[in-house]
Amino acid sequence: MIKPVGSDELQPRFVYDSEEHHKLMREAETLPSVLISSQAAGNAVMMGAGYFNPLKGFMKVADAMGAAETMTLTDGSFFPVPVLCLVENTDSIGDAQRIALRDPNMEGHPVLAIMDVENIETVTDDQMAKMTEKVYRTNDMEHPGVAAFNGQGRVALSGPIQVLHFSYFQDDFPDTFRTAVEIRNEIQERGWNKIVAFQTRNPMHLAHEELCHMAMDRLGCDGLVIHMLLGKLKPGDIPAPVRDAAIRKMVEVYFPPNSAMVTGYGFDMLYAGPREAVLHAYFRQNMGATHFIIGRDHAGVGDYYGAFDAQTIFEEEVPAGALDIEIFKADHTAWSKKLNKVVMMCEAPDHQKEDFVLLSGTKVREMLGNGEAPPKEFSRPEVAKILIDYYQTL
């Protein structure tokens, strides 16, 4: 199996030993605590689950700046984005060296992790602007990722963490949320050797399904891991439970047995386009995938990124040898009226736009809201029914 990034074995920060876990939970209730941001909570969950291996905790400012500017930390290791714990102030913790981090996304704000505080630093406006520009390629506060990143405090707490809970993800999505450790174990149990991963924050229409089949066939893969984002999205995106149901139905009906695994991870979407594509590849290697599909405008939003910037960044900016996972580069896929099948548009040079079945997201939402299924060349009827049922409740 492919090795994790930066180590021979995964080093998840979740405390799995039950006796140690109980001991730390008792200790946590006696420690000074701070309520962290949703983004920091997602970072903690990803470290706990092994996706951010070999990170041991939240970055100091120098490491965060290195990650943003060159994807290289001060010790020379690779990481594509800053992983910060930013808070408004330290009033509740003072100069304590061991603190509890409380979850903003669950009622009662339970303890998510314990941190050994190594540094308390103030991030300057200039540093924040530089990190934002490098990671998001814009400082426009209309960009949802930029707004979320800059909407946190400016006091950075750094140091190793011990994760005690997976936030609401494990509770709300028990059949879907999986750690990198669990996915690696299931890949081994299924006997897969070559695995392609597919990222989604949306339900999968026919073109997405066929793209996964294409990648599996062309790469000679034993298995596909459909890995969906379960964290916070921008307004208007379809809720995770609805996406989950739609994707599971698609796999049940249209994929052979033991060929596809439906899983999810707990993290707030960054909408950082190219840089987030690298992060996606990073944690897909950690969960055991050998290949990762990156298509047109991967992890993008609005018009902030070029259509294929998320592919070219791997050749132009990612340090050589930083990742072992291989990228499957995909173009936009759509149903060809000439060929009566889904194709990558770049592989149909004799086609004009009108030769494809293309529907805008606005049009699809309008149809579903009216109880009308999109054409079968766009969406499987079983998937459309689940989405129509959801839109009828709005």
Q: Using CA atoms in the order 178, 14, 291, 356, what is the torsion angle rounded to 10 degrees?
A: 40
Residue whose C-alpha is closest to residue 308's, from 349, 277, 336, 350: 277
Q: What CA–CA distances, in Å, run from 260 to 207, 213, 221, 344?
A: 16, 10, 11, 21
Does the annotation mark 202 as catalytic? yes
Largest CA distance in the chain: 69
Contact 228, 264 (CB under 8 A): yes
In whole angstroms, what is the distance from residue 76 CA to residue 81 CA?
Answer: 14
The residue from 154, 190, 201, 248 that is catalytic is: 201
Classify residue 155 as exposed, middle or buried by CB count within 10 Å of its CB (0-12, 13-18, 19+).
Answer: middle
In angstroms, what CA-CA distances link 258 with 187, 279, 290?
Answer: 10, 27, 17
Phi, psi of 260 (to 5 degrees): -145, 140
102 assigned to active site = no
Tell how strand 223-229 and strand 260-265 pair up.
Answer: parallel
Q: What is the DSSP string of 206-218?
A: HHHHHHHHHHHHH
Q: Give me the catalytic one of 98, 154, 202, 365.
A: 202
Contact between 196 and 289 under an 8 Å Cβ cutoff? The reply is yes
| Contact assessment for residue 48 and residue 14, using Cβ atoms and an 8 Å cutoff | yes
Distance set, CA 218 to CA 50, 147, 347 (Å): 29, 39, 14
Q: Which residues are catalytic?
A: 201-202
